[in-house]
Amino acid sequence: MIAQGDNGFFRERTDTCVTDNGLCPGWVVDHLDRYTTPLLQHVFLTVTSVAAGFLIAGSLAILAHRRRWLVGPITNVTGILYTLPSVAVFFLLLPITGRGNLTAIIALTAYTLLILFRNILAGLDAVPADARDAGRGMGLTDRQLLWRVELPLALPAIMAGLRIATTTTVGLAALAFFAGAGGLGEPLEAQKAFKTNVVFAGGLCVALAIVLDAMILLVQRSITPWTRAA
Amino acid sequence: MTVLASVLDTFGDGLDFIVNERTGRGGGEVGGLSANGDLLWEHLKLCLVAMAIACAVALPLGLWLGHTRRAAFLAISVSNIGRAVPAIALLFVFFAFLGAGFANVALALTLLAIPPILTNAYVGVREVDPDAVDAARGVGMTGPQVLRRVELPLAMPLVFGGIRTSAVNVVATATIAPLAGVVTLGDPIINPSIYGEEGRLGAAILVALLAVATEVVLAGAQRAVTPRGLAASPRRRLMTRTRTILAALAALALMLGVVACGDDDDDGSAGGGGSSTQAAPTAAITKNAENASTTLTVGSKNFTEQKVLGEIYAQAFAAAGYKVRKELNLGDEQTALKALKGGQIDGYPEYTGTALLSFFEVPTKDLPKDATAAYDEAKSRFAEDGITAFPPTPFTSSNEVAVTQETADKLGLKKISDLDGKSQDLVLYGSPECRGRDDCLRGLQNVYGLKFKRFVPVDIAQRHEVLTNGDADVSIVFTTDPQISRNREVLLEDDKGMFPPYNSTFLMKTETADKAGPDLQKTIEAVNKNLTARVMQELNARVDLDKETPAEAASDYLQQFDLVSAGS
């Protein structure tokens, strides 16, 4: 039935690392390009979601810092968002926002809120009363006090929250392919029985988490020099 | 506001799925309290097993390390590392190395649950006021007594907090357990082809409620085990969550409503375009500039052969000058047909036998035995639905009942009917949709009268591994699978004619096909001509064994047989 040109089309297969489903570093080196787009999507989803979460949680924390009665309700609402399984959230959002980045980013952002809100608020609350008094004594307005005294002193706690939120989001973004937003979960799932693939794609997620974590740590060190002097 | 109404409608359907049984897309009964109750029970069982092992391991270790203040670095960093490893990666690593099944998934979830429990137990004990410990020693308590009567009660809130974090996480992750062969509440979410979109939404609602319930129950338990002296401290205010939970859910619903009024159609599904190449005169498929005004979205089902075929058609259409988009992972045949009828895709390859059985529900006794008759019947039935079935491929790829050589020898199996009287001791593995198909579990039950010890639905990509690793005694595979000869599997002869011919025919809405012009059929025929069983098996081998992408295999095929010019 093979009419034409089948010379060389049918391969002789010997047992190799790849056909035997082993761990094959050589295969990874030859197929790195399969992971570049998903990795970039993963970074995009993580950075966008954490950034959006940071803006929202930061605003909420500043609000709750001044109006204490808000702490309970905000903690409860963000707590429930944190509890909902992300796969469920993707599909609960699907009828409303459709498949794609938007759905994934909304869900991932929702997860960061509790972590970030708690840490930013804890940081603001831990600012020594003396520092606040000194600021007021210098004639700072409420707004100036917040930006020049309270937020800088709360930075270590804020950055600690940012690190936890980022690491968590990298992990959850591996599920974003369910929402049609790609990410490293896509190649991970595409060949989930291929050992080399699951180890490498899973490893990339972990490596991304570590790299982003280290980057935030570096930023934190450079913007809070006083924490090292002590 | 019509958008809001339709969204509410969709959610209403989801809720309806939870309480009312209905006929699923594959024909079986799905949904309803009883079926969902079974899924819920499996979900809980998985979580309870994982949590029980995790607590048994991590609690004593964490408490002891905290008491002796040893290995601080290990106890703390284990939770940081744990956070960085995505749950789905952990699940797939276990899946790839150990295979599918309850025990392996439970083990993966256990590993997921350990870090928070361990770290919290450690920190909880270590952070106990040293004065309290000194006082305890002062009154003459021994080390174990100090741990049991002073440190543990004081550390209880934190220790329990760790268990709570783990439990919520495990409940969430058990949702994706069906990807590794355990049918939990996540099954309708992952296999909407069986349960329908309303099943997916209903299950998503159930899973969300289950996670919230877990959180609420454990928060209550945590309050109950917290010593009275600590309970009054302001830090414990978080635990009065139950009271405000309804208010918060209402707020959420309101938010959903607001978002719903926002934007409605944001379909971010990206389709990669095929490369447009200038075809050399020798190629069978040549570029026609007139076709550029026609966009064709090519679909496929979710297994290797389908993805390869989808890629081949997509690349061939692109070479003929059409604008091409791809949706090459649609799920099972019902999903693909729905996508075709709904206009989400313009065409996809389907097997004549699958069409006759699954779409047109032809009884086994009326199935055509020969390939041409099967195609003709499928073609005329599709025509009634306004769908054109293009001339089929030479190869046929049937479902097959496969066992290992050892099993065949041991039980003396040659034909499917040889399983009679033995099947009750055998475990059958098949894809999730196998449950409801006449050329799969349902046919084996109805046509052959077989009852298996267990049917385990597993991802279709695992159909050979489950035989090799011994999980399955019997597995449903495809004729064109290269693993059959490689793994020395034995295909049991279909002696009662359960399987019709399964040649692949490209389906398209007739309306779309007419608009696409004469190049369409020419391209499909050129592509099909060389798709023999041997070629199809080679293409499958390139993806399944050599781990090439379907796109690479497809491109090689088109060039090898001079369908497109080289270098595209």
Helix/strand/coil for B348? strand
Phi and psi angles of residue A227, each rounded to the nearest 5 degrees, phi first: -70, -20
Give the nearest partner residue to A194 out of B238, B547, B557, using CB atoms. B547
SS (H, E, C) B75-108: HHHHHHHHHHCCHHHHHHHHHHHHCCCHHHHHHH
Q: How far apart are CA B419 and CA B425, in angstroms?
A: 10
Q: In the prediction, which pLDDT does A77 show?
A: 92
Q: How many domains does chain A have?
A: 1
Q: Looking at beta carbons, which residues of chain B come within 8 Å of A196? A: 547
* Alpha-carbon torsion angle B468, B470, B473, B476, nearest 10: -40
Q: How far apart are CA B388 and CA B368, in angstroms?
A: 20
Q: How far apart are CA B384 and CA A212, in angstroms?
A: 57
Give the single-character DSSP code of B147.
I
Q: In the prediction, which pLDDT does A229 show?
A: 60
The answer to whether position A19 is within a domain reads: no
Q: In the prediction, which pLDDT does B194 show?
A: 67
Give the CA distances from residue A200 to residues A204, A214, B81, B87, B195, in Å, rounded to whole numbers and listed in that order.
6, 20, 16, 15, 33
Q: How far apart are CA B171 and CA A207, in angstroms?
A: 26
Quickly tell me which residue has 């930075």 as its tokens. A155
The H-or-E segment that residue B455 falls in is strand B454-457
Helix/strand/coil for B454? strand
Angle between helices B192-225 and B32-68 (to 10 degrees): 40
Nearest chain B Cα distance for residue A152, angstroms? 24
The answer to whether position A12 is within a domain reads: no
Q: In the prediction, which pLDDT does B277 show?
A: 41
Give the nearest partner residue to A3 out of B83, B215, B529, using CB atoms. B529
Name the nearest CA neighbour of B496 among B425, B434, B439, B437: B439
Give the nearest partner residue to A198 out of B92, B556, B557, using CB atoms. B92
- A5 pLDDT above the threshold of 50: no
Q: Please name the residues in contact with B372: beta carbons below 8 A apart, sequence gap of 6 or more.
A: none
Q: Average pLDDT in the B548-558 region?
A: 91
Cβ of B530 within 8 Å of Cβ of A98? The answer is no
Q: In Å, how far from its chain's centre is CA A135?
A: 35
Q: Looking at beta carbons, which residues of chain B come within 8 Å of A189? A: 88, 92, 179
- A6 pLDDT above the threshold of 70: no
Cβ of A202 within 8 Å of Cβ of B465? The answer is no
The H-or-E segment that residue B346 falls in is none
Q: In the prediction, which pLDDT does B280 show?
A: 43
Which is it for the CA torsion A193, A195, A197, A202, positive or negative?
Answer: positive
Q: Average pLDDT in the B366-375 region?
A: 91
DSSP codes joined into one string, B470-510? TS-SEEEEETT-THHHHTTEEEEB-TT------BEEEEEEH
The answer to whether position A6 is within a domain reads: no
Cβ of A88 within 8 Å of Cβ of B208? The answer is yes
DSSP codes joined into one string, A144-181? HHIIIIIHHHHHHHHHHHHHHHHHHHHHHHTTGGGGT-
Phi and psi angles of residue A10, each rounded to the nearest 5 degrees, phi first: -90, 120
- B199 pLDDT above the threshold of 70: yes
Q: How far apart are CA B315 and CA B564, in angstroms?
A: 9
Q: In the prediction, which pLDDT does B81 show?
A: 80
Cβ of B465 within 8 Å of Cβ of A193? The answer is yes
Q: Average pLDDT in the A152-161 region?
A: 90
- B256 pLDDT above the threshold of 60: no
Angle between helices B192-225 and B241-262 (to 10 degrees): 150
Q: In the prediction, which pLDDT does A69 show?
A: 92
Nearest chain A Cα distance for residue B28, angstroms? 23
Express as a percent the part of chain B with pLDDT over 70. 88
Instruction: Indicate the range of B174-188, B525-539, B554-568 predicted with least confidence.
Output: B554-568
- B234 pLDDT above the threshold of 90: no
Cβ of A171 within 8 Å of Cβ of B201? The answer is no
Q: How far apart are CA A118 and CA A127, in angstroms?
A: 15
Q: Looking at beta carbons, which residues of chain B come within 8 Å of A98? A: 264-268
Instruction: Indicate the range of B72-86, B240-254, B381-395, B533-547 predicted with least confidence.
Output: B240-254
Cβ of A85 within 8 Å of Cβ of B211? The answer is yes
Q: In the prediction, which pLDDT does B246 show?
A: 54
Q: Which residue has the higher pLDDT, A2 or B86?
A: B86
Cβ of B486 within 8 Å of Cβ of A13? The answer is yes
The answer to whether position A11 is within a domain reads: no
Pick among B105, B544, B547, B555 to test the A interface (most A CBs inside 10 A): B547
The token pair that represents B6 in the structure block: 């339709």
Which is it for the CA torsion A51, A52, A57, A60, positive or negative?
Answer: positive
CB B264 within 8 A of CB B10: no
Q: In the prediction, which pLDDT does B89 show?
A: 92
Cβ of B542 within 8 Å of Cβ of A164? The answer is no
Cβ of A209 within 8 Å of Cβ of B83? The answer is yes
Give the nearest partner residue to B545 out of A5, A19, A89, using CB atoms. A19
Return the number of other C-beta atoms located less than 10 Å from residue B12's C-beta: 12
Q: How many residues does chain B have?
A: 568
- B169 pLDDT above the threshold of 70: yes
Q: Average pLDDT in the B111-115 region?
A: 91
Banded pLDDT at B1 (limits 50, 70, 90): low
Give the single-character DSSP code of B415.
B
Q: How far apart are CA B175 and CA B204, in angstroms?
A: 9
Angle between helices B102-126 and B32-68 (to 10 degrees): 40
Nearest chain B Cα distance for residue A171, angstroms? 4
DSSP codes joined into one string, B456-467? EE--GGGTTHHH
Q: How far apart are CA B507 and CA A182, in angstroms?
A: 28
The answer to whether position A200 is within a domain reads: yes
Q: In the prediction, which pLDDT does B127 show?
A: 82
The answer to whether position A174 is within a domain reads: yes
Q: What is the CATH number of the domain that holds A181?
A: 1.10.3720.10
Cβ of B556 within 8 Å of Cβ of A9? The answer is yes
pLDDT digits (tens, 9 = 90+) for A55-106: 999 999 999 998 999 999 999 999 999 999 988 999 888 888 888 899 999 9
Q: How far apart are CA B400 and CA B29, in angstroms?
A: 25
10 Å CB burial of residue B347 (0-12, 13-18, 19+) is buried
CB A106 within 8 A of CB A93: yes
Helix/strand/coil for B203? helix
Q: In the prediction, which pLDDT does B24 show?
A: 63
Q: Looking at beta carbons, which residues of chain A come within 8 Å of B12? A: none
Q: In the prediction, which pLDDT does B316 show?
A: 95
Q: How far apart are CA B461 and CA A226, in angstroms?
A: 56
The answer to whether position A150 is within a domain reads: yes
pLDDT digits (tens, 9 = 90+) for B298-318: 999 888 999 999 999 999 999
Q: Determine the residue of chain B that is closest to A192 in CA distance.
A: B92
Pick among B4, B8, B46, B88 to test the A interface (most A CBs inside 10 A): B88
Phi and psi angles of residue B299, each rounded to the nearest 5 degrees, phi first: -110, 170
A196 is in which domain, residue-wise? 39-224
10 Å CB burial of residue B254 (0-12, 13-18, 19+) is exposed
The answer to whether position A2 is within a domain reads: no
- B248 pLDDT above the threshold of 60: no
Q: Helix H segments across B127-191?
A: 130-138, 143-145, 152-173, 187-190
The token pair that represents A170 in the structure block: 């990298």
SS3 content of chain A, % helix, strand, coil (to 5): 75, 0, 25
Give the CA distances from residue B4 to residues B10, B428, B539, in Å, rounded to whole numbers and listed in that order.
10, 45, 47
Q: Average pLDDT in the A179-203 region?
A: 90
pLDDT digits (tens, 9 = 90+) for B258-294: 444 443 333 333 333 334 444 444 678 888 888 888 9
Q: In the prediction, which pLDDT does B270 show?
A: 36
Pick among A1, A24, A32 to test the B interface (most B CBs inside 10 A): A1
Structural domains of chain B, ranges and CATH numbers in brackets? 2-262 (1.10.3720.10), 289-396+502-560 (3.40.190.10), 399-492 (3.40.190.120)
Q: Please name the residues in contact with B493: beta carbons below 8 A apart, sequence gap of 6 or more.
A: B414, B415, B416
CB B429 within 8 A of CB B463: yes
Q: What is the ipTM of this complex?
A: 0.88
Q: Which amino acid is at B527?
A: V
Name the nearest CA neighbour of B24 among B203, B206, B202, B193: B193
